[in-house]
Amino acid sequence: MLLYTLKSEVKESINYEINLKKTIGLVPTMGALHQGHLSLLKHAIIACDVVWVTIFVNPTQFNNKNDLNNYPKNIDKDLKMISKISKNVNIFYPEISEMYNSKLKSEVYDFENLDKELEGKYRNNHFNGVGTIVAKLFELFKPNKAFFGEKDFQQTRIINKLIEIKGYKTKLIVCPTVREKNGLALSSRNNLLSLKNKEKASVIYNKLVYAKENYLKIPFKIIYANCKKEINSITGFELEYLEIVHNETLKKENIIDLNKSYRIFICVLVNDVRLIDNILVK
């Protein structure tokens, strides 16, 4: 297992791998790794000749300084977790200055309003930050395949659009969400929850399942009201949004068309820790 901190070192290794016609797989992360990240890594190892994991907390995708400052970090634990899966994985762990030089600013992209829905309504400029760092990584690694989790489904739609905008040859692989036994989607932010709140957070997935089972039977306004009442009755919990949207455009539609595919998205704040999840309904 090799650890790189400089882009120049990575470029040299990538050029060598490209000359050998190796299939390059990229697993971008912000560290604080969990079994969801390791699932992405396992998929990449199966599908690719060479696998790179990046560990970088990207400041330009945070619109809340407290969220950035409180984001969990544990590089030593991350490296141990990766090594248990494979000792042949390459790791890129750069400083902020290495990725942004003196210009700590995100690019502005036309994501055709994909960035204006759901998380985009509450996190100003978040997806421009995501697009900026993913573009930097794709241009550095030139990956054949990049692996992201379904939990961040809106992000995967944004990255697909970025690939289209930039003309990258990278294939985006979306891997299934990995969950706790109680249904809570694994997230690095779960580390910020108390054990009691982590158990109580099972309500998030439970309400997604409830919404999926009833969206054709009950008006969605009533589903939303029922979910909000139950979630907000838990001390420290607040439902920020619960929406059923078109699976591709992420837009709400007034009438459900049985010939189309939909997905339900949810965001719950637990003592200001932001937890998101989603479920495919059709």
Each residue's pLDDT tens digit, 111-143: 999 999 999 999 999 999 999 999 999 999 999
Q: Report the CATH number of the 2-175 domain.
A: 3.40.50.620
Q: Is 34 a catalytic residue?
A: no
What whole-number percentage of the chain has pLDDT above 70? 100
Answer whether residue 254 shows pLDDT above 90.
no
Q: How confident is the model at residue 1 (pLDDT cuts 50, 70, 90)?
A: confident
CA–CA separation, 245 and 262 (whole Å): 6
What torsion, rounded to 10 degrees, do the Cα atoms 193, 202, 63, 235 define?
-70
Answer whether residue 242 shows pLDDT above 90.
yes
The residue ranges of DSSP E strands in the chain, in sequence order, are: 2-4, 24-29, 50-55, 90-92, 145-149, 171-175, 237-246, 262-270, 273-280
Each residue's pLDDT tens digit, 209-219: 999 999 999 99
Which of 37, 43, 126, 246 is catalytic? The answer is: 37
Say what the pLDDT of residue 159 is: 98
Q: How confident is the model at residue 64 (pLDDT cuts 50, 70, 90)?
A: confident
CA nearest 158: which of 104, 120, 106?
A: 120
Each residue's pLDDT tens digit, 256-269: 898 999 999 999 99
* Mean pLDDT over each residue of the chain, to the nearest integer: 96
Each residue's pLDDT tens digit, 171-203: 999 999 999 999 999 999 999 999 999 999 999
Say what the pLDDT of residue 39 is: 98
Answer whether residue 35 shows pLDDT above 90.
yes
Q: How confident is the model at residue 103 (pLDDT cuts 50, 70, 90)?
A: confident
Say what the pLDDT of residue 81 is: 97
Q: Report the CATH number of the 188-280 domain.
A: 3.30.1300.10
CA nearest 105: which of 159, 54, 59?
A: 59
Residue by residue, DSSP assigns 18-79 as: HHTTPPEEEEEE-SS--HHHHHHHHHHHHH-SEEEEEE---GGG-S-HHHHHHS---HHHHH
What whole-number percentage of the chain has pLDDT above 90? 93
Answer whether residue 282 shows pLDDT above 90.
no
Mean pLDDT of 18-45: 97
Strand 237-246: give its sheet, edge to edge: 237-246, 262-270, 273-280
Mean pLDDT of 81-108: 95
Domain regions of the chain by residue span = 2-175, 188-280
